[in-house]
Structure 1
Amino acid sequence: MAGFRWLVAAATLALAIPLSASANAPQHNAGEAGDRKVDRVATVHAIALYDDPALPANFDHLPYANPAAPKGGTLRRAANGSFDSTNPFIIQGTPADGLNQIYDTLMEASADEPFTMYGLLAGGIRLDPDRHWMEVDIRPEARFHDGTPVTAKDVVFSFRLLRDKGSPFYRAYYASVESVSALGERTVRFVFSNNQSRELPLILGQLPVLPEHYWRNRDFTKPTLDKLMGSGPYEIAEVDPGRRIVYRRVDDYWGRDLPLNRGRYNIDRLVYDYFRDQSVALEAFLAGALDMRVESSAKNWATAYDTPAVDDGAIQQVIVPDGQPAGMQGYVFNTRRDKLSDPKVRRALGLVFDFDWINQHLFYGAYQRTESFFQNSEMAAQGLPGKEELKLLSPYRDRLPAAVFDQQLPIPHPQALRPRLREALNLLREAGYDVRDGTLVNLETGQPFTLEFLLYDSQWERITQPFARNLERLGIQSKIRVVDVNQYLDRLRRFQFDMIVGSYPQSANPGNEQRDFWTSEYADVPQSRNLAGVNDPVVDALVDDLIQADSRSTLDTASRALDRVLRWGFYVVPQWNFDGTRVAVWDKFGYPRPFPSYTPDFTVWWVDADRARAITARQRGQE
């Protein structure tokens, strides 16, 4: 399931709805859902995947938030590349960072639970025990930034707008919603086409609600640099296209006193300064022009912070744990290209990626090699398929490689590089290629095999160069092309690439977002997340099995079966993973400890005024 507020890819499984309401929760007659008579259903404050939500209806604040946190101050961060739009929901344009903070959703997840959604705009939630429908009551105090009430009509409008005119992701995410309607000024009903997607009610909880009166006479499909309106804790204060965007905390934010928000959204100004070169962004941070840096480079983490500011504690290096599965990051093959359509070719190319050398020489041994699309979880396939997996896989035995059933899973780095190069060349020869005068050529057409790595961040160039050099040892002419982020996104939308660096983040409960990742329906849809162009009816069926899983064990089995088939498809060259988020920060911020169990939540941080003054004085003294 793909989270909205933190943009965390997560998903779900068996939904256990607490059917006992709190002592003062109202009861509601849900009426009719289609032609089906329904019983009285309790109104609840939250819904969870398993058992009951951890927090009762009368909870005071999230356990990892500090309700006494002071308000004020500024947080300056770097953003990468450029931007030309403040609309993050559509295909066109490159949206600015941080835009999710101006919108409220119906519900919001707790970063301290595997997956529970607590009511945000939703003051009450009713879910049919058989999961054919859900009703949501909008809080009467909810307001957009111009003071206009948030109503059920805004919810209906937002759902239809995103589904019909937004990114293809929304169409995939909401695929099983048959209808949405306003039952009154503040009550909305969602009717589901089936009850097979256990996560769907929680997915709808992540729906960002947009103001109908604001968008009624605007073109939603076109990029814009307007200061768009929402109902969330921040609003857009400044837009400097391609260079900077600034958000200010909404003083009279309608939801500031909700238990879900107490101790959150403490910082007055959030500044995102754009840098095309991450080395320049790093220098800006070390010079004090930025306050926080989420560090993606193991080399930088090990070497670039050897400065007096770190030595004397003015800069803190913090690793925030991440309890979610690592998911998959790798070099993604565009299988729409004829030369990359053969799994033997893709397997051969993957064999020559030398992770061990890169990890030792470039990453200071910081990473583990990724093998599974559900890495670091019970959902990762292991060894040969077990009995329950075989029940899912056996109907497709004639469509799958025999190796799926009778061979151990292909490990990305089973042996030293030299024998892997020999194995790769043998696979390429089986696929119809051979080396002629030092160049790998297609024996049928005589054309040389060429490969382009499309990148937008120069940091990836040095990482990719060793891979390219190993490909040259097979006679493959490869080149690395680094383009600006706008050109990069444009080429991605049109699938104009051979290989890119892509990621498939996962949560402990994968679900509907897997359609957008893997299924045939999205293989050729611009801006879908099916980057590899996977177009396989077997994968489609296994994704359906995963989404329809009705227990934890069933989900684990379906995920393992999907993982196994994807791994034998060789759609990516797996890279590496790290079970945390590296954060370098000037010591002017406070944050509660311990950190939440599952995902980082920077909304609970605050500026410590005394420490901020000391840091500012220190920085000025160095100028």
Structure 2
Amino acid sequence: MDPQFFSSLRNAAAALAALMIAGTASAEPSHGIAMYGDPAMPPDFVALPYVNPDAPVGGRIVEGNVGSFDSLNPFIRKGNVPWQIRFHVGETLMGRSLDEPFTLYGLLAESIETGPNREWVEFTLRPEARFSDGSPVTVEDVIWSYETLGTEGHPRYAGFWAAVESLEQVGERTIRFTFNTDNRELALLAGMRPILQKAQFEGLDFAEEGDQVVPISSSPYIIDNFEPGRFVSLRRNPDYWGWGIVPFRTGTYNLDEYRLEFFGDETAAFEAFKTGIVTTNREFNVARWESQYDFPKMTDGDYTRSVLPHSRPSGMTGFVMNTRNPLFDDWRVRDAMIHVFNFEFINEAMTGSAQPRITSYFSNSPLGMAHGPAEGRVLEFLEPYAGDLPPGAIEGYSLPEGDGSERNRANIGAALDMFEAAGWTVQEGELKNADGAPFGFEILLEQGSSENAAIIDMYVQSLERVGIFPTVTTVDSAQYKERTDSYDFDMTYFRRGLSLSPGTEQYLYWGSEGVDTPGGRNLMGVESPAIDAMIDALLTSAETEDFYAAAKALDRVLTAGRYVIPIYQWNISRIAHDANLHYPETMPIFGDWPGWQPDVWWYEE
């Protein structure tokens, strides 16, 4: 591993602070834009610092996926789409560097210009930009894409569109967005929405019929072949318009084929990797990494293993409680549920205790909360909402720790005390309220997730010790999406990846607005003025101290809210892969993240 990465890892916080302190972005047309300060790469940069500009072209990479799919249009709510598709189909005006907290460089746009306070932003399209069918990417396509995605597309696009006061053509190849709210991030978000071909959707109901459409893309990869539920093949487009034109693309998309294979469960996917049907595998189970990678392709040297560090936040992974259900609306009940979850015992069984537990949403980063009492600017941000905050947000909060034994007696006792305080007691071996109604709920799991099922099996055994007998329901991927989109669950698996530059997406994850809109990301159903205010502070902070304080305060409110039962975190990535697949030695600070594999990998025997 290149020592440059470890230098970046040690200095991630300092680098972020330096960018923020540097000042506001220039109001002159520029090749890029940073959330704070100026882009690290100069206008004449040749390639991103974490790519191999001389990488050979050719070969293929095959990734295994558990589940199924019935659509290849990731831009609408309808249909079950492979998650990778939206990162490779639908090119954007700007592209994000993985080696800076939040910086964009030109892709479809050759330049960007903002108002003095980023109250507006303009993009000028490159004259060479083309869709894969050879037709030009036009200002009309851009305006149509934003309007259509914002009003008829997937809910992830609605929040940005609501902040657009006007969108208009102001030059032959220039588009201007004017915003209706004070949010410095909007100028960057405007550059990150996919640009679709208007002509492809003429005469179609975008929201209802779009799931039958394979979008025409301007991206380096095009969807070449597929079989619903079985595989998708993305091929490198040799006629891609940006080769030799866009510095951001130099050394990227070197593989001729990126193939997604789908399997019914994790066991089948792993067996496909062992036999060579799949050629890359991200391993999240440490015990399996240590004990089950002695199969012939590995021992013969056909495959190799890579351990890759990063310096991004841990995010939150675990099991979320849906507070739309009155059962989980009481923080004391959620606290008791966390105490019953025997993490130390489960971690030993699943990983050999090799994985540390997630301690907060932004842990493993300079944005993570301190676990003692709030101080300084963090306290100042929280004090106006003190009466509505969950216990621990100001005083300090840490997850309960068990003794590692199966009985977990101390935490079970604490859980029973909290249940009793919330009106639940054990009656004739079952937890019930004063009316004699049992504490019953359903845990919803997606078919094929054997690791989650194993964790839940152990959790259910612990719940039975306090008189709770939940129903565990496993459904296929289509049913799972339908039920989670409509918030038809009590508890389910939860994962939210977070970045070093949290922004508008935080509204989608846990903001009050749209909490009941179908297909939203706020699975926990939280509605908190304090959370909304901390997100507002993130987006309007002009000073480094305020940005950090707002992030730490948000982290406190979310963690003390006890909405999710956290499991272990991955502060490194473990990837086993064909030994002929290579990646640059210089790792970006985001590490293994969308935009890295397969984007900067190459094949060489």
Per the normalisation by structure 1, the TM-score is 0.89
C-alpha distance in 1, partners of 2:588/2:557? 33
Q: CA deviation at 1:143?
A: 0.4
Please name the residue that 1:309 is paired with: 297
Summarize the alignment of residues 417-436 of structure 1 with structure 2, pairs less than 5 Å apart.
Answer: 417-436=408-427
SS in structure 2 at match of 1:547: helix
Which of 224, 236, 239 aligns to 1:237? It is 224
Please name the residue that 1:604 is paired with: 600
Q: Which moves more between the two structures, 239-248 or 396-405?
A: 396-405
SS in structure 1 at match of 2:235: strand
Corresponding position: 1:451 with 2:451: no
CA pair 51-455 structure 1, distance change in 2 beyond 3 A:
same
SS in structure 1 at match of 2:368: coil
C-alpha distance in 1, partners of 2:396/2:100? 34
C-alpha distance in 2, partners of 1:177/1:516? 17
Please name the residue that 2:276 is paired with: 288
Which of 460, 463, 471 aligns to 2:463? It is 471
Q: Which moves more between the two structures, 358-367 or 153-162?
A: 358-367
Q: CA deviation at 1:211?
A: 0.9
Please name the residue that 1:371 is paired with: 359
C-alpha distance in 2, partners of 1:168/1:344? 32
Deviations 1:490-511 (A, max 9, x none): 1001111111111221111111
Please name the residue that 2:9 is paired with: none
Which of 323, 328, 332 aligns to 2:311? It is 323
Amino acid at match of 1:449: F
Summarize the alignment of residues 523-542 of structure 1 with structure 2, pairs less than 5 Å apart.
Answer: 523-542=515-534
Deviations 1:105-126 (A, max 9, x none): 1101111222210000110111
Amino acid at match of 1:433: W
Q: CA deviation at 1:16?
A: 4.5
C-alpha distance in 2, partners of 1:95/1:565? 33
Corresponding position: 1:549 with 2:537: no
Corresponding position: 1:58 with 2:50: no
CA pair 281-478 structure 1, distance change in 2 beyond 3 A:
same
Q: Give the alignment's Cα RMSD to 1 decimal.
A: 1.9
Deviations 1:248-301 (A, max 9, x none): 111110012121111111111111111111111100110111111122222321
Kept after mapping to 2: 8 A contact 1:62/1:110: yes
Deviations 1:526-569 (A, max 9, x none): 11110000012232222222222222211111122222222222
Please name the residue that 1:514 is paired with: 506
Per the normalisation by structure 2, the TM-score is 0.92
Which of 481, 485, 490 aligns to 1:493? It is 485
Please name the residue that 1:219 is paired with: 205
C-alpha distance in 2, partners of 1:270/1:605? 11
Please name the residue that 2:8 is paired with: none
SS in structure 1 at match of 2:441: strand
Please name the residue that 1:78 is paired with: 64
Q: CA deviation at 1:411?
A: 2.2
Amino acid at match of 1:399: D
Q: CA deviation at 1:580?
A: 1.9
C-alpha distance in 2, partners of 1:308/1:83? 31
Q: CA deviation at 1:414?
A: 6.3
Kept after mapping to 2: 8 A contact 1:328/1:503: yes
Kept after mapping to 2: 8 A contact 1:17/1:47: no
Kept after mapping to 2: 8 A contact 1:135/1:190: yes
SS in structure 2 at match of 1:42: coil
Corresponding position: 1:503 with 2:490: no
Kept after mapping to 1: 8 A contact 2:220/2:237: yes
Which of 55, 60, 85 aligns to 1:69? It is 55
Amino acid at match of 2:472: I
C-alpha distance in 2, partners of 1:495/1:93? 17
Please name the residue that 2:155 is paired with: 168
Q: CA deviation at 1:583?
A: 0.9
C-alpha distance in 2, partners of 1:233/1:363? 38
Q: Which moves more between the two structures, 220-229 or 449-458?
A: 220-229
Please name the residue that 1:159 is paired with: 146
Please name the residue that 1:397 is paired with: 386
SS in structure 2 at match of 1:86: coil
Amino acid at match of 1:336: R
Q: CA deviation at 1:415?
A: 5.9
C-alpha distance in 2, partners of 1:512/1:99? 22
C-alpha distance in 1, partners of 2:580/2:197? 36
Structure 1: any 5+ residue segments left out of the alignment? 1-10, 20-40, 612-623
Corresponding position: 1:586 with 2:582: no
Equivalent residue pairs, number: 575
Overall identity of the aligned pairs, in %: 38
Corresponding position: 1:356 with 2:344: yes
C-alpha distance in 2, partners of 1:359/1:402? 27
CA pair 316-394 structure 1, distance change in 2 beyond 3 A:
same
SS in structure 2 at match of 1:102: coil
Kept after mapping to 2: 8 A contact 1:435/1:475: yes
C-alpha distance in 1, partners of 2:37/2:119? 19
C-alpha distance in 2, partners of 1:294/1:226? 30
Q: CA deviation at 1:175?
A: 3.6
CA pair 599-178 structure 1, distance change in 2 beyond 3 A:
farther
Please name the residue that 1:24 is paired with: none
C-alpha distance in 2, partners of 1:188/1:586? 44
Kept after mapping to 1: 8 A contact 2:275/2:297: no
Summarize the alignment of residues 257-296 of structure 1 with structure 2, pairs less than 5 Å apart.
Answer: 257=244, 258-296=246-284
Q: Which moves more between the two structures, 223-232 or 369-378?
A: 223-232
Which of 117, 122, 127 aligns to 1:135? It is 122
C-alpha distance in 1, partners of 2:398/2:48? 43
CA pair 232-153 structure 1, distance change in 2 beyond 3 A:
same
Amino acid at match of 2:415: A
Please name the residue that 1:462 is paired with: 454
Structure 2: any 5+ residue segments left out of the alignment? 1-15
C-alpha distance in 2, partners of 1:399/1:224? 43
Q: Which moves more between the two structures, 89-98 or 110-119?
A: 89-98
Amino acid at match of 1:607: Y
Deviations 1:588-619 (A, max 9, x none): 212211222223312111111xx2xxxxxxxx
Q: CA deviation at 1:402?
A: 5.6
Which of 177, 186, 190 aligns to 1:204? It is 190
C-alpha distance in 2, partners of 1:316/1:364? 22
SS in structure 2 at match of 1:349: helix
Which of 15, 24, 34 aligns to 1:48? It is 34
C-alpha distance in 1, partners of 2:538/2:280? 38
Deviations 1:16-36 (A, max 9, x none): 4553xxxxxxxxxxxxxxxxx
Please name the residue that 2:74 is paired with: 88
Q: CA deviation at 1:238?
A: 0.9
C-alpha distance in 2, partners of 1:536/1:543? 11
Q: CA deviation at 1:219?
A: 2.0
Kept after mapping to 1: 8 A contact 2:66/2:262: yes
CA pair 401-232 structure 1, distance change in 2 beyond 3 A:
closer
SS in structure 1 at match of 2:270: helix
Kept after mapping to 1: 8 A contact 2:254/2:600: yes
